[in-house]
Amino acid sequence: MTKLRVQLKKTVDESYDIIIGRKLTETLIRDIHTNFADRIYKVAVLTDSNVEALYGREFLWALQNVGIHCDLFTFPSGEKNKSREIKIRVEDEMIASGYGRDSLIIALGGGMVSDLSGFIASTFCRGIPYINYSTTLLSAADAAIGGKTAVNTPAATNLIGSFYQPSTVYADLETWNTLSVREFRSGLAETIIHACLGDFQFFEYLELHAPTLFDSNSLCLQWDICEYIVRQNCEIKYKVVMKDEKEDNYRKVLNLGHTIGRALEASAEYKYLHGEAVAIGLVAEARLANHLGFLKSEDVERIIRLLGSVGLPTECPKDIDPQLLIRKMYTDKKTRNGNINLVLMNGIGEMRKSSGGSYAFPVDEQKILSVLCS
């Protein structure tokens, strides 16, 4: 018998900048010329049908007018279209248009766009660089940062994907002017979750300021508050990612509200926006933490009040079968040895850790049903 060992130990610096501001297209163009001029020949701008109608052509022309070789690739909007089939279609279109290893992808849009585009970048020609140009609060708060890329399957959301970090993230607050109230609320759900898992003072800030971003049933955006919210979101998330990039343990805390929330998304066939689903999941998981003796009742009520103050749902819809939710939860990536695992709060701004150091707890499905049906 012959045995050979391939030594592949290496250190890779995957650091990147997050740029927050308004009207950032010119900044992006300067950065492309500075950082990619010597190694990138073509730029693929990937976006969905909604963003294309709002910004796509104007964004493309801005790049073309300064000599950047680029094309726009558009796919249908909506979480249900974050699929393997759409990924294949976009890849085939890029290949037919002459894209290769010397290409750059720009994900122009929200969370669905960054998830799908990042996954395409991670596999296209075995990996090409990509930039997230975020146009929603949801994306700026969560999806654009951290390097999680994925597509959905009929079984569950984000089941197939990769860890692949962007080269840069741009959070363009100017684009929020075209968000609907419902879309903005969806982004606030991820913001509230970040405060719940890692920053009590930020939670208090949101209690005071988040409701002021709405005037009746319309948005009343205040840019100083918006910029602070994005910055705090980014700081909470990247500090978690820096400690545990590949979700071996600590990064699992970012899944607060998501195990139940993603199951709800899939069970309802994406009738609910991501933020709406995870808001419901957050409340259910907070109640579960309370039942297990981890979280005070007054903290649960405080979370429910904050979500309600910005118009987010807090109760599991009556038309969703709790047993179906349980079945969907078994497809969650934290499931181990046939057990549903949840991350649970120890208090607002603090996550519970087991005596063995794990941040994911196996929870009996009857306990989960008890909070879903209460």
**For 42-60, how does the pLDDT look when each residue is reduced to its tens digit (9 = 90+)?**
999 999 999 999 999 999 9
Domain region containing 125: 17-178
Q: Do residues 135 and 152 share a domain?
A: yes
Q: Which pLDDT belongs to residue 304?
A: 98
Q: Which amino acid, residue 351?
A: M
Which CATH number goes with the domain that contains 358?
A: 1.20.1090.10
Please choose, from the candidates 238, 71, 66, 98, the residue with its C-alpha nearest in 3D space to the C-alpha of residue 166: 238
In a domain, 208, yes or no: yes
User: Per residue of the chain (374 residues), what is the pLDDT tens digit?
Assistant: 999 888 887 777 889 999 999 999 999 999 999 999 889 999 999 999 999 999 999 999 999 999 999 999 999 999 999 999 999 999 999 999 999 999 999 999 999 999 999 999 999 999 999 999 999 999 998 878 889 999 999 888 888 999 999 999 999 999 999 999 999 999 999 999 999 999 999 999 999 999 999 988 899 999 999 999 999 999 999 999 999 888 889 999 999 999 999 999 989 989 999 999 999 999 999 999 999 999 999 999 999 999 999 999 999 998 889 899 999 898 877 777 778 999 999 999 999 998 889 999 899 889 999 888 76
Residue 116 CA: distances (Å) to CA of 66, 233, 356? 27, 21, 35
Q: Which pLDDT belongs to residue 5?
A: 87
The maximal CA–CA distance of the chain, rounded, in angstroms, is 76
Return the residue matching tokens 């969370």. 111
Q: Which pLDDT belongs to residue 313?
A: 96
**314/374 Cα distance (integer angstroms):** 12
**169/15 Cα distance (integer angstroms):** 11
Which CATH number goes with the domain that contains 84?
A: 3.40.50.1970
End-to-end CA distance of the chain: 62
Which residues neighbour 4 within 8 Å (Cβ) at sequence distance 6 or greater? Answer: none
Q: Do residues 225 and 364 share a domain?
A: yes
Domains in the chain, number? 2
Q: Which pLDDT belongs to residue 112?
A: 95
b/e string for 235-266 if b means 16 or more Cβ within 10 A?
ebbbebbeeeeebeebbbbbbbbbbbbbbbbb
CB burial of residue 13 (10 Å; 0-12, 13-18, 19+)? exposed
Q: What is the pLDDT of residues 78-108, one digit of tens each?
A: 999 999 999 999 999 999 999 999 999 999 9
Which of 141, 160, 178 represents a domain boundary (last residue)?
A: 178
Which of 178, 199, 224 represents a domain boundary (last residue)?
A: 178
**155/141 Cα distance (integer angstroms):** 26
Q: Do residues 170 and 231 share a domain?
A: no
Q: Which two tokens stand for residue 273?
A: 């926006």
* Count of alpha carbons within 13 angstroms of residue 61, beta-carbon side: 5
In a domain, 10, yes or no: no
Q: Which pLDDT belongs to residue 348?
A: 98
CB burial of residue 1 (10 Å; 0-12, 13-18, 19+)? exposed
Q: Do residues 77 and 138 share a domain?
A: yes
Q: Which pLDDT belongs to residue 264?
A: 94
